[in-house]
């Protein structure tokens, strides 16, 4: 049995416009890399994370450590691990930074322990890392990062996740302005009550989006990528959001909305050419600001955490 493993944990987009807290998908253009090695100390040890001095290395406070410990506790194991994390997803970016570290950690640990759990079972442990990050055990980033593709979180008690393969020519473009928005703070902006008419429109869009994915109906996917509840409340935190959305839709995007809590904004596109045009439109808008930013374009990934070596 291997004593060390290296994995790639992809970034993810959650909410996906209409699917607040229940929808997410994996993207392959960016992700965290992690190396886990067994040790004989019966404890977890997280090495300093290069470039992120503020991220805790104490296992009980780090999302990777919390997630692995949840797995070990459930298994009744005291196996120790040395954990090295290469953080390529900036915390607070809105593309699943904490989920990537937690998901990568539990998939790697599971492999080294002989695969006692299925991939779907591992989502439960990755969610425990999310509690350390935001106070909530949500799965709309954790599930697609572990499993790949689009994931529907149908229920939490017990956890019921449905995985859907992405249409083969569906691309995602994400712009990440280099500002930080904490999930907890973004949630505080949301109203606790929803107008019934808006809720009905939202349910229709969720159903339409799922149908569009199953049928590879790109037009239906685009028509369904509308958020009538959350986007209006959260977009005030994102500079140039309205201009950005207008520009990418004019460039041919199927739809555009906030990724997670923001500040990242995603657009779905049919094909690489449209993705390139949308990337250029995003660049055109943000190049006129003083805010640093990154743009990522890739196909929606049907693979979750990948073993590199």
**Stretches in the chain below the pLDDT threshold 50:** none
Residues 6+ away with beta carbon under 8 Å from 204: 224
Q: Do 147 and 123 meet the contact criterion of CB atoms below 8 Å apart?
A: yes
As a three-state string, the secondary structure of 79-114 is CEEEEEEECCCCCCCCCCHHHHHHHHHHHHHHHHCC
CATH code at 200?
Answer: 3.30.70.890
Catalytic (active site) residue 145: no
Total domain count, the chain: 2
87 and 219 within one domain: no
234 and 106 within one domain: no
pLDDT at position 1 is 60
**Angle subtended by helix axes 119-134 and 63-75, to nearest 10:** 130
pTM of the model: 0.92
Give me the domain span that covers residue 185: 170-300
139 and 13 within one domain: yes
251 and 177 within one domain: yes
CA dist., res. 50 & res. 48, Å (int): 6
pLDDT at position 81 is 98
153 and 18 within one domain: yes
Query: How does DSSP assign 6-66, residue by residue?
Result: EEEEEEEEESTTT-TTTEEEEEEEEEEEEEEEEESSSSEEE---TT-TTS--STTTSHHHH
CATH code at 58?
Answer: 3.30.230.10
71 and 32 within one domain: yes
103 and 229 within one domain: no
Per-residue model confidence as pLDDT tens digits over 58-98: 999 999 999 999 999 999 999 999 999 999 998 878 899 99
Catalytic (active site) residue 130: yes
pLDDT at position 184 is 67
196 and 156 within one domain: no
114 and 88 within one domain: yes
139 and 155 within one domain: yes
Q: Catalytic: which of 84, 130, 240, 270? A: 130
150 and 28 within one domain: yes
193 and 159 within one domain: no
Q: Catalytic: which of 183, 231, 240, 270? A: 183
Rounded to the nearest angstrom, the gap between the alpha carbon of residue 37 and the centroid of all alpha carbons in its chain is 25
């Amino acid at each position: 049995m291997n004593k060390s493993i290296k994995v790639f944990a992809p970034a993810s987009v959650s909410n996906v416009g209409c699917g607040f807290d229940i929808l997410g998908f994996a993207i392959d253009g960016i992700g965290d890399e992690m190396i886990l090695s067994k040790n004989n100390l019966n404890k977890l040890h997280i090495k300093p994370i290069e470039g992120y001095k503020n991220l805790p290395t104490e296992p009980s406070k780090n999302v990777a450590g919390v997630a692995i410990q949840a797995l070990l506790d459930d298994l009744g194991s005291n196996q120790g691990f040395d954990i090295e994390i290469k953080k390529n997803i900036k915390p607070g970016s809105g593309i699943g930074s904490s989920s990537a570290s937690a998901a990568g950690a539990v998939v790697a640990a599971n492999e080294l322990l002989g695969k006692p759990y299925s991939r779907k079972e591992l989502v439960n442990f990755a969610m425990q890392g999310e509690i350390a990050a935001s106070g909530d055990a949500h799965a709309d980033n954790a599930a697609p990062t572990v499993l790949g593709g689009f994931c529907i979180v149908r229920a939490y008690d017990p956890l019921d996740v449905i995985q859907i393969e992405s249409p083969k020519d569906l691309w995602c473009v994400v712009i990440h302005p280099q500002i930080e928005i904490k999930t907890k703070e973004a949630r505080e902006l949301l109203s606790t009550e929803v107008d019934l008419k808006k809720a009905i429109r939202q349910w229709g869009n969720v159903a339409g989006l799922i149908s569009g994915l199953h049928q590879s109906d790109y037009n239906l996917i685009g028509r369904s990528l509308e958020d009538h509840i959350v986007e209006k409340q959260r977009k005030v935190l994102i500079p140039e959001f309205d201009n950005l959305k207008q520009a990418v839709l004019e460039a041919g995007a199927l739809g555009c909305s906030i990724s997670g809590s923001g500040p990242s904004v995603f657009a779905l596109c049919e094909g690489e050419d449209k993705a390139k045009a949308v990337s250029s439109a995003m660049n055109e808008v943000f190049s006129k600001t003083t805010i640093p930013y990154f743009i990522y374009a890739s196909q929606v990934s049907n693979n979750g955490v990948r073993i590199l070596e």
